[in-house]
Amino acid sequence: MQRILAPMAPGVRVLGLEDVVEYAEPVEDQPTFEGNALLKARAAVAATGLPSVADDSGLCVDALNGMPGVLSARWAGPPRSDDRNNALLLAQLEDVPDERRGAHFVCAVAFCLPGAGAAGEHVVLGRMDGHLVRSPRGAGGFGYDVLFVADGYDVTTAELPAGEKDAISHRGKALQEVAPVVVAALDAG
């Protein structure tokens, strides 16, 4: 988030979980990306008293009726494992022809201000369309990046330089949209 937000929100210092007093992260039990992002941002505000940005994202596969969706990180069950998630996804799509391997990433970003209630909450969505390849490619990124090729590209998002991926990704788009809201709220406060 820092890498993406820094150019759009100069002067705003983005802290990670390792920069604040440790707190119990909430269980992501909401049925939507927006719900899980809000749940995490609200928990961060409650634990730190600081304005908070949180995201929830995942992969939605057309041939799987939008799954794994909000279950993306836990698709293959506990413990979380990108390798097991990717292996399971490839097994589920083994007989699906290339022209039916459409997919998209979704990212919900929530921004919450302390003490403002619902009036101080803002949620945006970003989306990146593409398709899935038949075997992992690339070493960058994380999760399903090794299998996902964005529309207009011939390499997986794991093969893209970070800056290029940030410009087209679901997370990059959502953070670009929320950045002016964050800056305006902090300037007003």
> Which of these is catalytic: 19, 29, 55, 56?
56
27 phi/psi in degrees, rounded to 5: -70, 130
As a whole number of angstroms, the distance between CA 165 and CA 141 comes to 9
Known binding residue 111? Answer is no
Sign of CA dihedral 104, 69, 87, 161: positive
Known binding residue 170? Answer is yes
- Is 56 one of the catalytic residues? yes
Known binding residue 100? Answer is no
Known binding residue 171? Answer is yes
- Cβ proximity of 22 and 3 under 8 Å: no
Known binding residue 144? Answer is yes
Kindly list the strands in the beta sheet with 121-132, ordered across the sheet, starting from the edge strand earlier in the chain: 52-61, 102-112, 121-132, 148-150
As a whole number of angstroms, the distance between CA 96 and CA 75 comes to 19
Known binding residue 173? Answer is no
**If 0-12 CB within 10 Å is exposed, 13-18 middle and 19+ buried, where does residue 142 land?**
exposed
- Cβ proximity of 110 and 123 under 8 Å: yes
Known binding residue 130? Answer is no
DSSP string, 135-155: S---SSS-GGGGTEEETT-SS
Residues forming the active site: 56
Residues at the annotated binding site for Mg(2+)?
56
| Residue list, annotated binding site for substrate | 57, 142-145, 165, 170-171
Binding-site residue set: 56-57, 142-145, 165, 170-171
